[in-house]
Amino acid sequence: MGQIVGGIGVSHAPSLARAYDQDKRDDPEWRDIFESYKPAAAWLEALQPDALVMVYNDHVNQFFFDAYPTFALGVAEIFAQADEGWGKRALPDLRGDTRLGWHIARSLVADEFDPTICQEMVVDHGVYSILPFLMAPPWETPIVPLAVNVIQHPLPTARRCFDIGAAIGRSVASYDDARVVVMATGGMSHQLHGPDFGHVNPDWDNEFLDLLESDPAVLCELDHSEYMRRGGAESIEVIMWLAMRGALGSGVRNIHRAYFAPMLTGYGLVCFEPG
């Protein structure tokens, strides 16, 4: 019997990738952010998961607007790093877990979800901007990626994201003996266009983190416009964190939490264990 042993919600951003690659750990603007990942990385290392289920969104690198699936599950031996226009970073490709991936695929379809199954998939900064902060490369832990459409309307609802996370939890429970961590990434409050460019709302970001832990049902009831009104247009990405929360079951223990809003986006991090 498989087990979800932990969940991580974390902001992704190209700025994090640049800070890591340029080793800004001692820069005053970045020092506290770098430090905030260390407890999470130590906790994750101690958990020793057999696989990671990575919930993220593709930024028009694997998919384009003419064919953008609502949910796309990667089932492959290798997930290559996407070249997002300025060359690949000096980081290795990611190993896949095809056996777990096919089990999740079959389980989701039997549970009346209809993911697109990708046997070839490149992965972009939705994963790569944060993974080096949490696990030292090269990465031995294999992944099963789930890409969620939070870019081109119609988008899945917050509740649908929570529900597919719960279905992943059921799938892992019906698998062989394996310890799995579900990690969901997505920017918190930010808007990168229009008259509200630069909008950041730390109060809402922290309320979201509170509710994610204690009462995710409230977050499931909010529609897309409400998420965007509170956090900016691109902050709709946080609905992916509900997939992680749904996988963990009714109650969680908060292991670590951090939040910063120094620039154009809120950077959040939470680590949960099933309660």
Domains of the chain: 3-274 (3.40.830.10)
Please report the pLDDT score of residue 266 as a whole number. 87
Q: Which residue among 103, 125, 199, 256 is the active-site one?
A: 125
CB 5 within 8 A of CB 181: yes
Question: Is 12 a known active-site residue?
Answer: no
Question: Is 59 a known active-site residue?
Answer: no
d(CA 36, CA 33): 5
Three-class DSSP category at 184: strand
CB 70 within 8 A of CB 149: yes
C-alpha of 73 from chain center: 13
Distances (CA, A) of 99 to 104, 106, 144, 164, 178: 9, 11, 10, 19, 11
d(CA 146, CA 167): 13
Q: Which residue among 190, 193, 199, 224 is the active-site one?
A: 190
Tens of each residue's pLDDT in the chain, 275 residues: 899 999 999 999 999 999 999 999 999 999 999 999 999 999 999 999 999 999 999 999 999 999 999 999 999 999 999 999 989 999 999 999 999 999 999 999 999 999 999 999 999 999 999 999 999 999 999 999 999 999 999 999 999 999 999 999 999 999 988 999 999 999 999 787 778 776 889 999 999 999 999 999 999 999 999 999 998 888 899 999 999 999 999 999 999 999 998 777 889 999 999 98
